Copies of this chain bind each other. A is one copy, B any other.
């Protein structure tokens, strides 16, 4: 009976496959008949990219986390191909849930499948309305090297890291949320598991498994309260418009709790459980690991398997990455959506950063470039100037950079790990950079002449950002590289540009009154026809922004 109902209720595509001779109209009639008996197990409406939850009561005997299988198929009225199959999960106390993030507006129907009668063949329907103003959907890759929300709005990544801010108790966690709300950051990296490391000796309030700390766990039984808390924090970030880059494994346990050295079966079950709970949050990104190569109990084949599991189990294909210590993962693997890289040296120089674009042909996110702070570790005592400089070098190279802060604190509340408040000088400058990014072309900032003049970013012929870094020029002669052959883009004599001088440290933007008109100077460069120069203050961290003058824009 279950199988029959599924065939009949199944989205049309599934139906056609299963019963090629059954006419569609008969099937639809039966389907409508059956749906007439539908009962509501969740909301009757939800907004696009919101979260619908099917809530069911089911068995509590045995081990429901392992013994009970539950999933639901969601069918969109308007296209069979839009069907989504989502795994459900056990949430304790006899409660089972299946979560769904509708990718399209309109009418949706669902039916459940389970190995337990109480959970099987439950049906329902609901209406998906237009997303509310602040909801742009999940972030995906666009233009090879960049990101945008599902509704097309560009997402210019400006991330931070607080590895275990979500394990610090409500007071500190809510302070972190408050800090984030007024910060420039639109993404935060953090771990599911708690962390043991310098400045991190506190036990967390909750653990992911049933059992007794530090390390007597029943890893076949999850702790729903732990995950509900995690979800509450992901939801809070979502409501602030901040992407949650969720780190699924990390090495800073070293056997204390043992979450870094579970068996393959435990790892895989854990991944599936996390994905079934969290994939329907639109602001989720998956990071398989922080410093995967420092987890000495795992082989590369494990990470490959984890990548396949997450990629296969996440019906929405949220962004998925893996972050390195010293050994880069092979980011050309198809399941990796973008390269999440730890390497501070790569953003000391746009000419370095740009190299990763060439080899991976994916967005490059430098998620760890060392931190602003004063700890006695060379990865944690950059000046604010140096960190902001690295963001700018990465930006003009057409890549994205992440922030972190490690100032010593009497109670060991370092932003990098626990959150709290920001005390550094970089966030204000990164807010200035965020403004620059939001004002930049929707297609993204691209290197203009990648192996010759890495100080130029932008979109050839339209927009240029020239960053002088630590140099302190007194002037800049207007000079634009000829766009690469084969791109189809040309610049030519007479094109006009308006210019601004940006002081990236002092956060000022100064418009230059003149309009500059191009004239070819060499085989490789155009300059201003009157050889005019732009005066600069002779300080470091200056940039010039050129925008094609609208008056002269053709098309």
Q: Which residues of A contact B (CB under 8 A)?
A: 326-328, 330-332, 343-346, 348-349, 351-352, 355-356, 358-360, 376-378, 450-452, 454, 484, 486, 523-524
B524 near A378 with CB under 8 A, answer yes
Q: Which residue of B lies closest to A378 (CB)?
A: B524
Closest to A358 in B: B328
Q: Can you list 25 A-B pairs, Cβ within 8 angstroms, ordered by A? A: A326-B450, A326-B484, A327-B358, A328-B358, A328-B359, A330-B359, A331-B359, A332-B332, A343-B355, A343-B451, A344-B451, A345-B351, A345-B451, A345-B452, A345-B454, A346-B355, A349-B349, A349-B351, A352-B352, A352-B355, A356-B359, A359-B359, A359-B360, A376-B523, A378-B523
Q: How near does chain B come to A485, taking the closest CB pair, in angstroms? A: 8
Q: Return chain B residues, CB-CB under 8 Å to A451.
A: 343-346
A207 to chain B, nearest CB (A): 29
- Chain B residue numbers with a CB within 8 Å of A331 are 359
The interface residues of chain B lying within 8 Å CB-to-CB of A326 are: 450, 484, 486
Identical chains in the assembly: 2
Give the Cβ gap from A450 to chain B, nearest Cβ, in Å: 8
Which B residues are in CB contact (< 8 Å) with A351? 345, 348-349, 352
Chain B residues with Cβ under 8 A from A352's Cβ?
A: 349, 351-352, 355
Q: How far is the CA of A454 from the CA of B351 in the complex (A)?
A: 15
Which residue of A359, A377, A486 has the most chain B CB atoms within 10 A of its CB atom?
A: A359
A345 to B352, CA, bound (A): 9
In the complex formed, the residue of B with least CB distance to A348 is B351
Q: How far is the CA of A451 from the CA of B353 in the complex (A)?
A: 12
CA distance A359 to B333 in the complex (A): 12
In the complex, A450→B346 CA distance in Å?
11
**A484–B294 Cα gap in the complex (Å)?**
12
Q: Across the two chains, which residue of chain B brings its CB closest to A486? A: B326
Smallest CB separation, A295 vs chain B (Å) = 12
Closest 4 CB pairs of A and B: A345-B451, A328-B358, A359-B359, A352-B352
Report the minimum CB–CB distance from A477 to chain B (whole Å): 18
**Is there contact, CB below 8 Å, between B452 and A378?**
yes
For the complex, what is the distance from the CA of A452 to the CA of B348, rounded to whole Å? 11
Q: In whole angstroms, what is the CA distance A327 to B331 when docked?
A: 17
Evaluate contact between A330 and B328: CB separation under 8 angstroms. Answer: no
Other CB < 8 Å A-B pairs besides A332-B332, A345-B452, 13 of them? Answer: A326-B486, A327-B358, A328-B358, A331-B359, A345-B451, A349-B349, A352-B352, A355-B355, A355-B356, A359-B360, A376-B523, A378-B452, A378-B524
Q: What CA separation (Å) do A436 and B332 show in the bound complex?
A: 36
Q: How far is the CB of A307 from chain B (nearest CB, A)?
A: 15
Tell me the minimal C-beta distance from A352 to chain B in angstroms.
5
Cβ contacts under 8 Å, A346 to chain B: 355, 451
Residues in B with CB closer than 8 Å to A349 are 349, 351-352
> Considering the chains assembled together, what is the distance between the CA atoms of A348 and B524 in angstroms?
20
Least CB distance from A331 to B in Å reads 8
The minimal Cβ–Cβ distance linking A355 to chain B, given in whole angstroms, is 5
Instruction: A11 to B326: give the CA distance in the assembly, Å.
Output: 46
Q: Which residues of B contact A524 (CB under 8 A)?
A: 378
User: Which residue, of A326, A327, A377, A451, has the highest number of chain B Cβ atoms within 10 A?
Assistant: A451
Query: What residues of chain B lie closer than 8 Å to A358, measured between beta carbons?
Result: 327-328
Residues of B within 8 A of A348 (CB): 351
Cα distance, A450 to B328, chains bound together (Å):
13
Q: How far is the CA of A182 from the CA of B346 in the complex (A)?
A: 39
A236 and B474 CA atoms in complex are apart in Å by 57
Q: Please report the C-alpha to C-alpha distance between residue A376 and residue B523 in the assembled complex, in whole angstroms.
A: 9
In the complex, chain B residues whose CB is within 8 Å of the CB of A486: 326
- Which residue, of A327, A330, A346, A355, has the highest number of chain B Cβ atoms within 10 A? A355
What residue in chain B is nearest A293 (Cβ atoms)? B486
Docked CA distance A38–B377 (Å): 73
A79 to B355, CA, bound (A): 46
Nearest CB of chain B from residue A389's CB, rounded to whole Å: 15
Cα A332 to Cα B360 with chains together (Å)? 10
Q: Are B327 and A330 in contact (CB under 8 A)?
A: no
Chain B nearest CB: distance from A453 CB in Å? Answer: 9
A365 CB, nearest partner CB in chain B, Å: 15
Q: How far is the CB of A446 from chain B (nearest CB, A)?
A: 13
Complex formed: what's the CA distance from A247 to B81 in Å?
Answer: 47
Query: Shortest Cβ distance from A521 into chain B, in angstroms?
Result: 13
* Cβ of A323 to closest chain B Cβ, rounded Å: 14
Within the complex, the shortest CB–CB distance from A291 to chain B, in Å, comes to 11
Cα distance, A352 to B350, chains bound together (Å): 10
CA of A345 to CA of B378, assembled, Å: 27
Alpha-carbon distance A450/B358, docked complex (angstroms): 20
Whole-angstrom distance from the CB of A208 to the nearest CB of chain B? 28
Closest to A343 in B: B451
Which residues does chain B contribute within 8 Å of A344, judged by CB atoms?
451
Q: How far is the CB of A483 from chain B (nearest CB, A)?
A: 12
Chain B, residue nearest A376 (CB)? B523
Contacts of A355 in B (CB 8 A): 343, 346, 352, 355-356
Across the interface, which residues of B come within 8 angstroms of A376, CB to CB?
523
